[in-house]
Structure 1
Amino acid sequence: MKKSILIITVLLSVLLLFAACTSDAEETSGDNGDVKKVLTIGVDDTYPPMEYRDENNELVGFDVALAKAIGEKLDMEVKFISTGWDGIFSGLKTENYDAIISSVSITPLRLKEFDFSDAYLSNGQVIVVKPGDTSVTKPEDLAGKNVGVQIETTADVAAQKYKEENDFEIIRYDEIIQTFNAMKAGHVDYIVVDYPVAIEYVKNDVSSFEISTAQLTNEPIGVCLRKGDKELQEKINGALEELRADGTLKAISEEWLGSDYTTDIDLELNVIE
Protein backbone atom coordinates (compact mmCIF):
# COMPACT_ATOMS: atom_id res chain seq x y z
CA MET A 1 0.00 0.00 0.00
CA LYS A 2 2.75 2.43 0.95
CA LYS A 3 4.64 1.43 -2.19
CA SER A 4 1.55 2.18 -4.32
CA ILE A 5 1.14 5.54 -2.63
CA LEU A 6 4.83 6.29 -3.28
CA ILE A 7 4.48 5.40 -6.97
CA ILE A 8 1.34 7.54 -7.31
CA THR A 9 3.07 10.43 -5.57
CA VAL A 10 6.06 10.21 -7.91
CA LEU A 11 3.81 10.05 -10.95
CA LEU A 12 1.82 13.08 -9.80
CA SER A 13 5.04 14.99 -9.19
CA VAL A 14 6.25 14.22 -12.70
CA LEU A 15 2.92 15.26 -14.20
CA LEU A 16 2.90 18.52 -12.27
CA LEU A 17 6.48 19.24 -13.34
CA PHE A 18 5.56 18.56 -16.96
CA ALA A 19 2.49 20.77 -16.70
CA ALA A 20 4.56 23.58 -15.22
CA CYS A 21 6.94 23.38 -18.15
CA THR A 22 4.23 23.36 -20.81
CA SER A 23 1.31 25.35 -19.38
CA ASP A 24 2.87 28.74 -20.02
CA ALA A 25 0.94 29.76 -23.16
CA GLU A 26 3.13 32.81 -23.52
CA GLU A 27 6.15 30.90 -24.81
CA THR A 28 7.02 29.60 -28.24
CA SER A 29 10.05 28.14 -29.99
CA GLY A 30 11.96 30.41 -32.35
CA ASP A 31 13.65 29.42 -35.60
CA ASN A 32 16.85 28.58 -33.75
CA GLY A 33 15.05 26.52 -31.13
CA ASP A 34 15.22 29.22 -28.45
CA VAL A 35 12.11 29.69 -26.35
CA LYS A 36 10.52 33.10 -26.82
CA LYS A 37 7.88 34.81 -24.76
CA VAL A 38 4.69 35.62 -26.66
CA LEU A 39 3.18 39.11 -26.59
CA THR A 40 -0.54 38.81 -27.31
CA ILE A 41 -2.16 41.84 -28.92
CA GLY A 42 -5.87 42.63 -29.17
CA VAL A 43 -6.76 44.22 -32.51
CA ASP A 44 -9.91 45.25 -34.38
CA ASP A 45 -8.88 44.20 -37.88
CA THR A 46 -11.47 46.30 -39.74
CA TYR A 47 -9.79 49.72 -39.50
CA PRO A 48 -7.59 50.53 -42.51
CA PRO A 49 -4.89 51.76 -42.80
CA MET A 50 -4.19 51.03 -39.14
CA GLU A 51 -5.20 47.36 -38.92
CA TYR A 52 -7.07 45.33 -41.53
CA ARG A 53 -7.05 42.23 -43.72
CA ASP A 54 -5.59 42.53 -47.21
CA GLU A 55 -6.74 40.67 -50.33
CA ASN A 56 -4.89 37.58 -49.09
CA ASN A 57 -6.56 37.82 -45.66
CA GLU A 58 -3.21 38.77 -44.15
CA LEU A 59 -3.33 41.13 -41.17
CA VAL A 60 -1.56 44.36 -42.18
CA GLY A 61 -1.47 48.05 -41.33
CA PHE A 62 0.36 50.69 -39.30
CA ASP A 63 -0.37 49.15 -35.89
CA VAL A 64 0.39 45.64 -37.12
CA ALA A 65 3.82 46.74 -38.36
CA LEU A 66 4.40 48.65 -35.11
CA ALA A 67 3.43 45.67 -32.92
CA LYS A 68 5.82 43.42 -34.84
CA ALA A 69 8.61 45.99 -34.49
CA ILE A 70 7.96 46.20 -30.74
CA GLY A 71 8.10 42.42 -30.55
CA GLU A 72 11.49 42.40 -32.28
CA LYS A 73 12.87 44.97 -29.85
CA LEU A 74 11.60 42.94 -26.89
CA ASP A 75 12.69 39.62 -28.45
CA MET A 76 9.10 38.40 -28.17
CA GLU A 77 6.84 36.59 -30.60
CA VAL A 78 3.76 38.70 -31.38
CA LYS A 79 0.37 37.00 -31.59
CA PHE A 80 -2.66 39.01 -32.74
CA ILE A 81 -6.12 38.32 -31.33
CA SER A 82 -8.82 39.71 -33.64
CA THR A 83 -11.56 41.30 -31.55
CA GLY A 84 -14.57 43.48 -32.33
CA TRP A 85 -14.16 47.05 -31.12
CA ASP A 86 -17.23 46.86 -28.88
CA GLY A 87 -15.54 44.14 -26.80
CA ILE A 88 -11.87 45.01 -27.12
CA PHE A 89 -11.46 46.70 -23.73
CA SER A 90 -13.33 44.04 -21.77
CA GLY A 91 -11.11 41.47 -23.49
CA LEU A 92 -8.04 43.21 -22.09
CA LYS A 93 -9.53 43.29 -18.59
CA THR A 94 -10.29 39.56 -18.73
CA GLU A 95 -6.71 38.86 -19.90
CA ASN A 96 -7.59 37.57 -23.36
CA TYR A 97 -4.44 39.41 -24.47
CA ASP A 98 -1.61 41.42 -22.94
CA ALA A 99 -2.21 44.74 -24.68
CA ILE A 100 -4.28 46.53 -27.30
CA ILE A 101 -2.46 48.04 -30.27
CA SER A 102 -5.42 49.11 -32.34
CA SER A 103 -5.62 52.89 -32.78
CA VAL A 104 -6.56 53.47 -29.14
CA SER A 105 -6.82 57.17 -28.35
CA ILE A 106 -5.49 58.26 -24.98
CA THR A 107 -8.34 59.92 -23.09
CA PRO A 108 -8.84 60.93 -19.43
CA LEU A 109 -11.68 58.45 -19.06
CA ARG A 110 -9.63 55.55 -20.41
CA LEU A 111 -6.69 56.54 -18.20
CA LYS A 112 -8.88 55.88 -15.17
CA GLU A 113 -9.38 52.26 -16.21
CA PHE A 114 -6.19 51.43 -18.11
CA ASP A 115 -2.52 52.28 -18.36
CA PHE A 116 -1.00 53.49 -21.63
CA SER A 117 2.38 53.57 -23.24
CA ASP A 118 3.86 56.85 -24.36
CA ALA A 119 1.93 58.26 -27.33
CA TYR A 120 3.27 56.98 -30.64
CA LEU A 121 0.98 58.71 -33.15
CA SER A 122 -0.72 62.08 -33.55
CA ASN A 123 -4.49 61.87 -33.83
CA GLY A 124 -7.73 63.80 -33.56
CA GLN A 125 -11.31 63.50 -34.69
CA VAL A 126 -11.98 65.17 -38.05
CA ILE A 127 -15.02 65.60 -40.25
CA VAL A 128 -15.02 64.00 -43.71
CA VAL A 129 -17.10 65.78 -46.35
CA LYS A 130 -17.79 65.43 -50.05
CA PRO A 131 -15.17 67.03 -52.33
CA GLY A 132 -15.70 70.76 -52.70
CA ASP A 133 -17.96 71.05 -49.65
CA THR A 134 -16.65 74.07 -47.73
CA SER A 135 -19.70 74.48 -45.52
CA VAL A 136 -18.18 72.62 -42.55
CA THR A 137 -15.58 74.66 -40.66
CA LYS A 138 -16.69 73.87 -37.10
CA PRO A 139 -18.72 71.14 -35.35
CA GLU A 140 -21.79 73.37 -35.18
CA ASP A 141 -22.05 73.10 -38.96
CA LEU A 142 -23.23 69.50 -38.57
CA ALA A 143 -26.68 70.77 -37.51
CA GLY A 144 -29.52 69.25 -39.48
CA LYS A 145 -27.31 66.63 -41.16
CA ASN A 146 -26.81 62.86 -40.95
CA VAL A 147 -23.43 61.98 -39.43
CA GLY A 148 -21.83 58.53 -39.64
CA VAL A 149 -19.57 57.14 -36.90
CA GLN A 150 -18.19 53.79 -35.81
CA ILE A 151 -19.96 52.62 -32.70
CA GLU A 152 -18.30 53.14 -29.29
CA THR A 153 -15.29 55.02 -30.68
CA THR A 154 -14.16 58.44 -29.52
CA ALA A 155 -15.74 59.74 -32.74
CA ASP A 156 -19.05 58.33 -31.53
CA VAL A 157 -18.60 59.97 -28.12
CA ALA A 158 -17.64 63.33 -29.63
CA ALA A 159 -20.62 63.29 -31.99
CA GLN A 160 -22.99 62.43 -29.14
CA LYS A 161 -21.74 65.40 -27.13
CA TYR A 162 -22.00 67.87 -29.98
CA LYS A 163 -25.49 66.59 -30.78
CA GLU A 164 -26.70 67.82 -27.38
CA GLU A 165 -26.41 71.43 -28.54
CA ASN A 166 -26.55 71.00 -32.31
CA ASP A 167 -29.42 68.94 -33.62
CA PHE A 168 -28.21 66.36 -36.13
CA GLU A 169 -28.75 62.64 -36.72
CA ILE A 170 -26.04 60.16 -35.71
CA ILE A 171 -25.93 56.89 -37.62
CA ARG A 172 -23.70 54.33 -35.93
CA TYR A 173 -21.97 51.46 -37.74
CA ASP A 174 -20.09 48.41 -36.50
CA GLU A 175 -17.16 48.88 -38.90
CA ILE A 176 -15.57 52.07 -40.19
CA ILE A 177 -15.78 50.98 -43.83
CA GLN A 178 -19.56 50.94 -43.49
CA THR A 179 -19.60 54.66 -42.71
CA PHE A 180 -17.71 55.49 -45.91
CA ASN A 181 -19.88 53.16 -47.99
CA ALA A 182 -22.94 54.84 -46.49
CA MET A 183 -21.62 58.27 -47.42
CA LYS A 184 -21.02 57.19 -51.02
CA ALA A 185 -24.55 55.79 -51.12
CA GLY A 186 -25.98 59.05 -49.79
CA HIS A 187 -27.16 57.67 -46.44
CA VAL A 188 -24.94 60.03 -44.42
CA ASP A 189 -23.81 63.57 -45.17
CA TYR A 190 -20.62 63.58 -43.09
CA ILE A 191 -18.34 61.22 -41.18
CA VAL A 192 -16.49 61.83 -37.91
CA VAL A 193 -13.37 59.66 -37.74
CA ASP A 194 -9.71 59.46 -36.68
CA TYR A 195 -7.44 61.65 -38.79
CA PRO A 196 -5.13 58.81 -40.02
CA VAL A 197 -8.14 56.81 -41.21
CA ALA A 198 -9.61 59.83 -42.97
CA ILE A 199 -6.30 60.30 -44.78
CA GLU A 200 -6.43 56.72 -46.08
CA TYR A 201 -9.96 56.91 -47.45
CA VAL A 202 -9.42 60.31 -49.07
CA LYS A 203 -6.17 59.09 -50.66
CA ASN A 204 -7.91 56.05 -52.13
CA ASP A 205 -11.03 57.89 -53.33
CA VAL A 206 -10.46 61.61 -53.88
CA SER A 207 -13.63 61.84 -55.97
CA SER A 208 -15.80 60.83 -53.01
CA PHE A 209 -14.15 62.15 -49.84
CA GLU A 210 -12.35 65.19 -48.50
CA ILE A 211 -11.20 66.21 -45.01
CA SER A 212 -12.80 69.44 -43.78
CA THR A 213 -10.89 72.07 -41.81
CA ALA A 214 -12.89 71.26 -38.67
CA GLN A 215 -11.08 69.20 -36.03
CA LEU A 216 -13.10 68.16 -32.99
CA THR A 217 -10.40 66.82 -30.68
CA ASN A 218 -6.73 66.10 -30.07
CA GLU A 219 -6.25 62.57 -28.79
CA PRO A 220 -2.87 60.94 -29.49
CA ILE A 221 -2.70 57.17 -29.80
CA GLY A 222 -0.86 54.77 -27.48
CA VAL A 223 -0.62 51.11 -26.50
CA CYS A 224 -3.41 50.26 -24.04
CA LEU A 225 -2.51 48.05 -21.06
CA ARG A 226 -4.19 46.62 -18.00
CA LYS A 227 -4.11 48.95 -15.01
CA GLY A 228 -1.01 48.34 -12.94
CA ASP A 229 0.95 46.39 -15.57
CA LYS A 230 3.98 48.62 -15.05
CA GLU A 231 6.55 46.04 -16.12
CA LEU A 232 5.08 45.66 -19.59
CA GLN A 233 4.47 49.40 -19.82
CA GLU A 234 8.16 50.09 -19.16
CA LYS A 235 9.25 47.47 -21.70
CA ILE A 236 6.98 48.84 -24.42
CA ASN A 237 8.01 52.43 -23.71
CA GLY A 238 11.64 51.36 -24.02
CA ALA A 239 10.91 49.66 -27.34
CA LEU A 240 9.06 52.73 -28.63
CA GLU A 241 11.97 54.94 -27.65
CA GLU A 242 14.36 52.73 -29.62
CA LEU A 243 12.02 52.63 -32.63
CA ARG A 244 11.78 56.39 -32.59
CA ALA A 245 15.54 56.83 -32.27
CA ASP A 246 16.48 54.45 -35.07
CA GLY A 247 13.88 55.87 -37.48
CA THR A 248 11.66 52.77 -37.62
CA LEU A 249 8.60 54.52 -36.22
CA LYS A 250 8.87 57.33 -38.78
CA ALA A 251 9.36 54.81 -41.59
CA ILE A 252 6.24 52.87 -40.58
CA SER A 253 4.21 56.09 -40.55
CA GLU A 254 5.49 57.13 -43.97
CA GLU A 255 4.75 53.67 -45.40
CA TRP A 256 1.19 53.39 -44.10
CA LEU A 257 0.07 57.02 -43.71
CA GLY A 258 2.10 58.74 -46.41
CA SER A 259 3.86 61.10 -44.01
CA ASP A 260 5.41 61.22 -40.54
CA TYR A 261 2.80 61.61 -37.79
CA THR A 262 5.03 60.18 -35.05
CA THR A 263 7.27 63.19 -34.47
CA ASP A 264 6.39 66.26 -32.39
CA ILE A 265 3.14 64.74 -31.14
CA ASP A 266 0.85 67.21 -29.35
CA LEU A 267 0.42 65.51 -25.97
CA GLU A 268 -2.13 67.97 -24.58
CA LEU A 269 -5.40 66.05 -24.55
CA ASN A 270 -8.41 67.85 -25.98
CA VAL A 271 -11.06 65.17 -25.71
CA ILE A 272 -14.83 65.17 -25.53
CA GLU A 273 -16.15 62.65 -23.02
Structure 2
Amino acid sequence: MKLSSLLMLSLTAGALLAGCGKNETAPAAQSAAAPAAPAVPAKIVIGLDDNFPPMGFRNEKNELVGFDIDLAKEAARRLGIEVEFKPIDWSAKEAELNGKRVDALWNGLTITEERRKNIGFTSAYMENHQIIVVPAASTIKTKAELAGKVIGIQDGSSAVDAVQKDPVAASFKELKKFGDNVTALMDLTTGRLDAVVLDEVVGRYYTAKKPNDYAVLDDHFGTEEYGVGTRKDDTALLAKLQQAMDEMKADGSAARISTDWFGKNIIK
Protein backbone atom coordinates (compact mmCIF):
# COMPACT_ATOMS: atom_id res chain seq x y z
CA MET A 1 0.00 0.00 0.00
CA LYS A 2 2.81 2.40 0.82
CA LEU A 3 4.50 1.76 -2.54
CA SER A 4 1.20 2.27 -4.34
CA SER A 5 0.59 5.50 -2.48
CA LEU A 6 4.05 6.78 -3.27
CA LEU A 7 3.60 5.85 -6.93
CA MET A 8 0.29 7.70 -7.10
CA LEU A 9 1.79 10.79 -5.44
CA SER A 10 4.72 10.75 -7.86
CA LEU A 11 2.44 10.51 -10.89
CA THR A 12 0.20 13.30 -9.58
CA ALA A 13 3.16 15.61 -8.92
CA GLY A 14 4.51 14.91 -12.39
CA ALA A 15 1.20 15.80 -13.97
CA LEU A 16 1.03 19.02 -11.99
CA LEU A 17 4.55 19.99 -13.00
CA ALA A 18 3.78 19.25 -16.63
CA GLY A 19 0.68 21.40 -16.41
CA CYS A 20 2.63 24.26 -14.85
CA GLY A 21 5.21 24.02 -17.58
CA LYS A 22 2.57 24.41 -20.28
CA ASN A 23 1.06 27.48 -18.60
CA GLU A 24 4.47 29.15 -18.36
CA THR A 25 5.53 28.53 -21.96
CA ALA A 26 2.21 29.25 -23.72
CA PRO A 27 2.43 33.06 -23.58
CA ALA A 28 5.98 32.96 -24.88
CA ALA A 29 4.91 30.79 -27.80
CA GLN A 30 1.99 33.09 -28.57
CA SER A 31 4.24 36.15 -28.32
CA ALA A 32 6.77 34.65 -30.70
CA ALA A 33 4.03 33.89 -33.23
CA ALA A 34 2.62 37.46 -33.23
CA PRO A 35 3.86 39.46 -36.26
CA ALA A 36 5.91 42.58 -35.53
CA ALA A 37 4.30 45.90 -36.38
CA PRO A 38 5.83 47.48 -39.50
CA ALA A 39 8.17 50.41 -38.88
CA VAL A 40 6.57 52.38 -41.72
CA PRO A 41 2.97 51.78 -42.85
CA ALA A 42 2.17 50.58 -46.35
CA LYS A 43 0.19 53.78 -46.89
CA ILE A 44 0.64 57.30 -45.52
CA VAL A 45 -1.74 60.26 -45.58
CA ILE A 46 -0.21 63.65 -46.29
CA GLY A 47 -2.07 66.75 -45.16
CA LEU A 48 -1.94 69.86 -47.34
CA ASP A 49 -3.57 73.17 -48.20
CA ASP A 50 -5.07 72.50 -51.65
CA ASN A 51 -5.12 76.21 -52.51
CA PHE A 52 -1.38 76.86 -52.21
CA PRO A 53 0.06 76.98 -55.74
CA PRO A 54 2.55 76.01 -56.94
CA MET A 55 3.22 73.77 -53.92
CA GLY A 56 -0.18 72.05 -53.85
CA PHE A 57 -3.40 73.02 -55.64
CA ARG A 58 -6.16 71.77 -57.94
CA ASN A 59 -5.78 72.07 -61.69
CA GLU A 60 -8.56 72.64 -64.23
CA LYS A 61 -9.47 68.94 -63.96
CA ASN A 62 -9.78 69.26 -60.16
CA GLU A 63 -6.70 67.07 -59.73
CA LEU A 64 -4.26 67.76 -56.90
CA VAL A 65 -0.97 68.85 -58.43
CA GLY A 66 2.07 70.84 -57.36
CA PHE A 67 5.77 70.91 -56.62
CA ASP A 68 5.47 69.41 -53.13
CA ILE A 69 3.02 66.79 -54.39
CA ASP A 70 5.49 65.66 -57.05
CA LEU A 71 8.27 65.50 -54.45
CA ALA A 72 6.07 63.45 -52.10
CA LYS A 73 5.03 61.06 -54.88
CA GLU A 74 8.66 60.43 -55.80
CA ALA A 75 9.60 59.85 -52.15
CA ALA A 76 6.72 57.39 -51.72
CA ARG A 77 7.73 55.53 -54.89
CA ARG A 78 11.25 55.08 -53.57
CA LEU A 79 9.97 53.84 -50.22
CA GLY A 80 7.53 51.43 -51.87
CA ILE A 81 4.51 52.87 -50.07
CA GLU A 82 1.17 54.31 -51.16
CA VAL A 83 0.44 57.98 -50.55
CA GLU A 84 -2.90 59.76 -50.14
CA PHE A 85 -3.15 63.56 -50.21
CA LYS A 86 -5.74 64.99 -47.83
CA PRO A 87 -6.74 68.69 -47.96
CA ILE A 88 -6.98 70.08 -44.42
CA ASP A 89 -7.62 73.36 -42.64
CA TRP A 90 -4.04 74.63 -42.63
CA SER A 91 -4.61 76.70 -39.50
CA ALA A 92 -5.36 73.40 -37.67
CA LYS A 93 -2.52 71.41 -39.21
CA GLU A 94 -0.85 70.44 -35.92
CA ALA A 95 -4.15 69.14 -34.53
CA GLU A 96 -4.71 67.14 -37.74
CA LEU A 97 -1.22 65.64 -37.49
CA ASN A 98 -1.14 64.83 -33.79
CA GLY A 99 -4.77 63.67 -33.88
CA LYS A 100 -3.55 61.04 -36.38
CA ARG A 101 -5.90 62.18 -39.14
CA VAL A 102 -2.82 62.65 -41.33
CA ASP A 103 0.66 61.10 -41.06
CA ALA A 104 2.72 63.95 -42.44
CA LEU A 105 2.54 67.62 -43.45
CA TRP A 106 4.18 68.34 -46.79
CA ASN A 107 3.06 71.63 -48.30
CA GLY A 108 5.38 74.58 -47.82
CA LEU A 109 5.67 73.87 -44.09
CA THR A 110 8.01 76.38 -42.47
CA ILE A 111 10.43 75.07 -39.85
CA THR A 112 10.20 77.13 -36.64
CA GLU A 113 11.40 76.51 -33.10
CA GLU A 114 7.82 76.80 -31.85
CA ARG A 115 6.62 74.13 -34.28
CA ARG A 116 9.52 71.85 -33.37
CA LYS A 117 7.89 71.43 -29.95
CA ASN A 118 5.03 69.49 -31.54
CA ILE A 119 6.33 68.34 -34.93
CA GLY A 120 9.28 66.25 -36.09
CA PHE A 121 10.98 67.84 -39.13
CA THR A 122 13.20 66.60 -41.92
CA SER A 123 16.13 68.80 -42.81
CA ALA A 124 15.22 71.84 -44.91
CA TYR A 125 14.75 71.26 -48.63
CA MET A 126 13.89 74.81 -49.70
CA GLU A 127 14.43 78.44 -48.66
CA ASN A 128 11.63 80.99 -48.70
CA HIS A 129 10.90 84.63 -47.86
CA GLN A 130 7.75 86.34 -46.61
CA ILE A 131 7.27 88.92 -49.34
CA ILE A 132 5.02 91.97 -49.59
CA VAL A 133 2.70 92.16 -52.60
CA VAL A 134 0.89 95.41 -53.44
CA PRO A 135 -1.26 96.55 -56.37
CA ALA A 136 0.85 97.50 -59.39
CA ALA A 137 -0.28 101.14 -59.11
CA SER A 138 0.39 101.38 -55.36
CA THR A 139 2.54 104.18 -53.97
CA ILE A 140 3.82 101.84 -51.23
CA LYS A 141 7.49 101.11 -51.87
CA THR A 142 8.88 100.07 -48.47
CA LYS A 143 7.85 98.05 -45.44
CA ALA A 144 7.72 101.21 -43.33
CA GLU A 145 5.04 102.62 -45.64
CA LEU A 146 2.63 99.89 -44.54
CA ALA A 147 1.85 102.06 -41.51
CA GLY A 148 -1.85 102.89 -41.36
CA LYS A 149 -2.67 100.29 -44.02
CA VAL A 150 -4.85 97.16 -44.12
CA ILE A 151 -2.67 94.09 -44.60
CA GLY A 152 -3.90 90.64 -45.65
CA ILE A 153 -2.36 87.38 -44.49
CA GLN A 154 -3.21 83.65 -44.41
CA ASP A 155 -4.39 82.48 -41.00
CA GLY A 156 -2.13 79.83 -39.49
CA SER A 157 0.74 80.56 -41.88
CA SER A 158 4.31 81.35 -40.86
CA ALA A 159 3.71 84.81 -42.34
CA VAL A 160 1.58 85.60 -39.28
CA ASP A 161 4.50 84.91 -36.94
CA ALA A 162 6.98 86.77 -39.13
CA VAL A 163 4.81 89.89 -39.35
CA GLN A 164 3.80 89.97 -35.70
CA LYS A 165 7.45 89.79 -34.62
CA ASP A 166 8.27 92.89 -36.68
CA PRO A 167 7.86 96.29 -34.95
CA VAL A 168 6.16 97.71 -38.05
CA ALA A 169 3.11 95.51 -37.38
CA ALA A 170 2.08 97.79 -34.53
CA SER A 171 1.55 100.58 -37.06
CA PHE A 172 -0.91 98.66 -39.28
CA LYS A 173 -4.49 99.86 -39.41
CA GLU A 174 -5.55 96.20 -39.51
CA LEU A 175 -4.00 92.77 -40.02
CA LYS A 176 -6.78 90.86 -41.75
CA LYS A 177 -6.57 87.05 -41.80
CA PHE A 178 -7.84 84.82 -44.60
CA GLY A 179 -8.35 81.10 -45.06
CA ASP A 180 -5.96 81.07 -48.03
CA ASN A 181 -3.65 83.37 -49.98
CA VAL A 182 -5.76 83.29 -53.14
CA THR A 183 -8.69 84.99 -51.41
CA ALA A 184 -6.36 87.57 -49.88
CA LEU A 185 -4.92 88.42 -53.31
CA MET A 186 -8.43 88.76 -54.73
CA ASP A 187 -9.24 91.31 -52.01
CA LEU A 188 -6.01 93.12 -52.86
CA THR A 189 -7.11 93.36 -56.48
CA THR A 190 -10.52 94.78 -55.54
CA GLY A 191 -9.01 97.41 -53.24
CA ARG A 192 -10.13 95.99 -49.90
CA LEU A 193 -6.50 95.49 -48.90
CA ASP A 194 -3.41 97.64 -49.30
CA ALA A 195 -0.91 94.75 -49.26
CA VAL A 196 -0.63 91.00 -48.75
CA VAL A 197 2.24 89.24 -46.96
CA LEU A 198 2.78 85.67 -48.14
CA ASP A 199 5.32 83.00 -49.03
CA GLU A 200 7.56 84.05 -51.89
CA VAL A 201 7.00 80.83 -53.86
CA VAL A 202 3.25 81.51 -53.91
CA GLY A 203 3.54 85.25 -54.40
CA ARG A 204 5.95 84.97 -57.33
CA TYR A 205 3.72 82.36 -58.95
CA TYR A 206 0.72 84.72 -58.95
CA THR A 207 2.54 87.95 -59.74
CA ALA A 208 4.24 86.30 -62.73
CA LYS A 209 0.82 85.35 -64.11
CA LYS A 210 -0.59 88.87 -63.61
CA PRO A 211 2.34 91.32 -63.82
CA ASN A 212 0.00 94.22 -64.62
CA ASP A 213 -1.98 93.70 -61.42
CA TYR A 214 0.71 93.16 -58.77
CA ALA A 215 4.10 94.44 -57.65
CA VAL A 216 6.53 92.88 -55.16
CA LEU A 217 8.46 95.14 -52.78
CA ASP A 218 12.19 94.73 -52.24
CA ASP A 219 11.55 94.66 -48.48
CA HIS A 220 10.32 91.44 -46.91
CA PHE A 221 9.55 89.96 -43.50
CA GLY A 222 12.45 87.53 -43.24
CA THR A 223 13.91 84.30 -44.55
CA GLU A 224 12.70 80.84 -43.59
CA GLU A 225 13.05 77.20 -44.59
CA TYR A 226 10.60 74.48 -45.61
CA GLY A 227 10.66 70.94 -44.23
CA VAL A 228 8.44 67.86 -44.10
CA GLY A 229 6.67 67.34 -40.77
CA THR A 230 5.65 64.16 -38.94
CA ARG A 231 4.52 63.36 -35.42
CA LYS A 232 7.49 63.66 -33.05
CA ASP A 233 7.21 60.03 -31.95
CA ASP A 234 6.99 58.72 -35.53
CA THR A 235 10.75 58.54 -35.87
CA ALA A 236 10.73 55.60 -38.30
CA LEU A 237 8.63 57.45 -40.88
CA LEU A 238 10.64 60.63 -40.41
CA ALA A 239 13.90 58.76 -40.99
CA LYS A 240 12.55 57.11 -44.15
CA LEU A 241 11.29 60.41 -45.58
CA GLN A 242 14.66 61.98 -44.82
CA GLN A 243 16.42 59.09 -46.55
CA ALA A 244 14.25 59.48 -49.65
CA MET A 245 14.81 63.25 -49.77
CA ASP A 246 18.58 62.81 -49.42
CA GLU A 247 18.59 60.33 -52.30
CA MET A 248 16.46 62.63 -54.46
CA LYS A 249 18.85 65.52 -53.85
CA ALA A 250 21.90 63.36 -54.55
CA ASP A 251 20.71 61.86 -57.84
CA GLY A 252 19.19 65.06 -59.24
CA SER A 253 15.53 63.99 -59.06
CA ALA A 254 14.61 66.84 -56.71
CA ALA A 255 16.39 69.33 -58.96
CA ARG A 256 14.48 68.04 -61.99
CA ILE A 257 11.13 68.43 -60.23
CA SER A 258 12.13 71.92 -59.14
CA THR A 259 13.05 72.88 -62.69
CA ASP A 260 9.71 71.58 -63.95
CA TRP A 261 7.84 73.94 -61.61
CA PHE A 262 10.13 76.95 -61.20
CA GLY A 263 12.34 76.90 -64.27
CA LYS A 264 15.44 76.44 -62.09
CA ASN A 265 16.79 74.37 -59.22
CA ILE A 266 15.80 75.99 -55.92
CA ILE A 267 16.34 72.87 -53.79
CA LYS A 268 18.42 73.65 -50.71
1:248 is aligned to 2:245 = no
2:145 equivalent to 1:141:
yes
CA contact (8 A) 2:57 2:64 kept: yes
Structure 1: runs of 5 or more not aligned: 1-19, 28-36, 264-273
Per-residue CA deviation, residues 86-134 of structure 1 (Å, 9 max, x unaligned), is 2221010011121110111001100111110111111121111223657
The partner residue of 2:125 within 120, 129, 134 is 120
Aligned counterparts, 1:1-273, within 5 A: 37-131=42-136, 133=138, 135-137=140-142, 139-162=143-166, 164-263=169-268
Paired position in structure 2 for 1:16: none
Contact 1:127 1:215 in 2 (8 A): yes
1:232, distance to aligned residue in structure 2 (A): 1.3
Residue 23 of structure 2: aligned partner: none
TM-score (norm 2): 0.80
Larger helix percent: 2
CA root-mean-square deviation: 2.0
CA distance in 2, matches of 1:228, 1:123: 27
Distance 1:223 1:47 in 2: 16
With normalisation by structure 1, the TM-score equals 0.79
C-alpha contact 2:150 2:172 (8 A) present in aligned 1: no
Q: 1:196 to 1:164 in 2, by over 3 A?
A: closer
Unmatched runs of 5 consecutive residues or more in structure 2: 1-33
Q: What is the percentage of aligned positions where both structures have the same residue?
A: 33
User: Which of structures 1 and 2 has the bigger CA Rg?
Assistant: 2
SS of the residue aligned with 1:216? strand
Once the two structures are TM-superposed, the CA of residue 246 in structure 1 deviates from its matched residue by 1.5
Question: How far apart, CA to CA, are the structure 2 residues paired with 1:44 and 1:57?
Answer: 14
Residue 13 of structure 1 aligns with which residue?
A: none
Matched pairs, number: 231
Flag as ranges the 4+ runs of structure 1 deviating above 4 A.
none
Q: Is the 8 A contact 1:128 1:198 kept in 2?
A: yes
d(CA) in 2 for partners of 1:210, 1:243: 34
| Matches of 2:259 and 2:204, distance apart in 1 | 12
Question: For residues 71 and 261 of structure 1, what CA distance do their matches in structure 2 show?
Answer: 21
